[in-house]
């Protein structure tokens, strides 16, 4: 295993992490922005008001995109495990 192979595997791992986490982080960001806007308009400053909608949005995204996320991770792990014999020799 040379340094180029290690860098390529690291780059693929980071890209996979970004792709899998993007829907969850995007939903939390969007809901957080909407709740903050609502709080600014109504002048309600309650910390728990921001937490519950974000939690519900993240759960909904996991329910909708969870199978896709799991499939992507399983395929990536399968590729990594299948590449082990070629990288050791």
Q: Which two tokens stand for residue 6?
A: 């290690």
pLDDT for the residue 89: 63
Q: Which two tokens stand for residue 58?
A: 């993240």
- Contacts of residue 35, Cβ cutoff 8 Å, sequence gap at least 6: 49, 50, 53, 54
Q: What is the pLDDT of residues 7-59, one digit of tens each?
A: 999 999 999 999 999 999 999 999 999 999 998 899 888 877 889 999 999 99
Domain-wise residue ranges, the chain: 16-88
Q: What is the pLDDT of residues 58-78, one digit of tens each?
A: 999 999 999 999 999 999 999
Q: What is the pTM of this model?
A: 0.79
CA 13 to chain centre: 12
């Amino acid at each position: 295993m040379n340094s180029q192979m290690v860098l390529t595997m690291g780059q693929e791992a980071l890209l996979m992490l970004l792709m899998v986490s993007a829907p969850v982080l995007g939903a939390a960001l969007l809901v957080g922005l909407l709740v903050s806007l609502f709080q600014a308009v109504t002048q309600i400053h309650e910390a728990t008001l921001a937490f519950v909608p974000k939690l519900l949005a993240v759960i909904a995204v996991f329910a909708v995109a969870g199978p896709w996320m799991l499939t992507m991770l399983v395929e990536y792990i399968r590729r990594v495990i299948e590449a082990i014999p070629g990288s050791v020799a």
